[in-house]
Chain A
């Protein structure tokens, strides 16, 4: 369905997407995962025919995205980030306009508009001005628009951004129900979501693909690192002391709450439990410990790990995780 070969996109002096290649098979739900500015949106814009790549090749549904842009756009339902809509139109009116643009007409169009409004739950809002809708409803209208021409491929840029938990669950169920008819490529920075919805995850960071696997595999692969959270009251270079424990890969000190308590996160080698050793060390050094908590890795950790391996852990804003 999607075949991307060595795709690169440069904006004036900055490389947004750096030589990426991947494939998506028909019927898959693939999640594009990465922090803000990783190149997710850029890749999706290229795939939806909005802008060309600097180099490389991308085929969507058998059409070249640059040379057969119109056919590509015909077979793709694209929902941009932030769901931009014409605020001066009414919901049904807007969907009708979009459906006409995408080549639908007559009874078939009216029926299809009714269907997608029902699917996305905006039927009750059909006569409302889009400008007066809440963020959640706008998002749904944009989704209805992406679906209206029954595209083979759905490209959704952060479809759940700005929705409340109930709405997120609704969208997730919707996407899964679409699986039989559409291939879906969605982007998100919420890991939980990928774990729940996607067959496959493509992690992208600083314009490069860091991982491309099923969510389960990724977590298993990185079962390796467990995390140990500590809150200690002690003097001296605690980071150094803690790192000295054999199985510790990396120790980070988190900005702390109340003096004199300090908070640390330890990344521990696979299948090691170092809680005893930490305890001994603490007793020996006369530290006080008020919390020690072992955490098995989630996809989130996989992501942090991968990003760290890229060498620049600091530029990932923590709020995206």
Chain B
């Protein structure tokens, strides 16, 4: 466990000494600002069912940031070390593969969580400046941030896996972007095809669809199934990553 913390510290360090974390943070803040602004204008025009929280996370801007975050945060993790050859130095120190994979992943998750902190300020500020007229239902807030974190954990695990496959960061970014996009498109598929197909299929696809999860959770409905789904998928991809990293140690 001690080794794990040392590695985690080092990973966080390399996130914050490189410009990556700050660039992504800036990008997310800008896009979030737009999303927040879009949500405000919806509420401004007409009385609405949804809270400001749910409108913010339904904005196109939010989804735009959603796609850039994961490849940018994870592409470095293994690809850079492979390219620089430092993976060899790392694995000839007495460390185990799970410690390396786990620490890199957890560092990415921590940075990811930090990215969403400024959006909290947006909400609090709107609530304060409107003297409480902009409501912040605790269910919606809790649900939104909970699903954001577990969705992030899932996508970051995909990114980790993508990065372990190659020594080229761009390739890693493209793989993780594609996988995340395919997952997102499940929801869009339902929106496009709509009611033309049987309800069973719609239900099944909705079970996997990120857009649907966001819709439910930002409405304040906390459903354990998506949480379980994302966390188990994250674990699956992390175990893939572990296998890829350990592959060199396999014996025929």
Contact = CB atoms under 8 A, between A and B. Distances in A.
Contacts of B86: 84-86
Interface stretch (B89-97, B142-150, B162-170, B222-230): B89-97
Interface string A68-80: 0111011010101
Nearest to B18: A88
Interface string B4-41: 00110010011001100000000000000000000000
Given A52-B249, A66-B251, A102 B89 contact: no
A15 to B, nearest CB: 13
Interface in B64-102: 84-86, 88-89, 91-96
Nearest to B91: A50
A79 B10 CA distance: 20
A45 interface: yes
A101 interface: yes
B252 interface: yes
Contact of A52 (B3, B18, B95, B251): B251
Contacts of A51: 248-249
Question: Which of B88, B95, B248 has the most chain A CB atoms inside 10 A of its CB?
Answer: B88
B84 A101 contact: no
A142 B93 CA distance: 13
Question: Which of A51, A82, A85 has the most chain B CB atoms inside 10 A of its CB?
Answer: A51
A52 B94 contact: no
B interface: dominant SS: helix
B93 A82 contact: no
B89 A80 contact: yes
A70 B96 CA distance: 8
Contacts of B92: 48-50, 73, 76, 78, 80
Contacts of A70: 94, 96
Contacts of B249: 51-52, 69
A85 B89 contact: yes
Given A52-B251, A86-B14, A101-B3, A73 B88 contact: no
Interface string A190-231: 000000000000000000000000000000000000000000
B252 A101 contact: no
Interface of A: 45, 48-52, 54, 66, 69-71, 73-74, 76, 78, 80, 82, 84-89, 97-98, 100-103, 142, 145
Given A48-B92, A50-B92, A66-B251, 19 more contacts: A49-B92, A54-B252, A70-B94, A73-B92, A73-B94, A80-B88, A80-B92, A84-B88, A85-B84, A85-B86, A85-B89, A86-B10, A86-B14, A88-B17, A88-B18, A89-B14, A97-B6, A97-B10, A101-B3
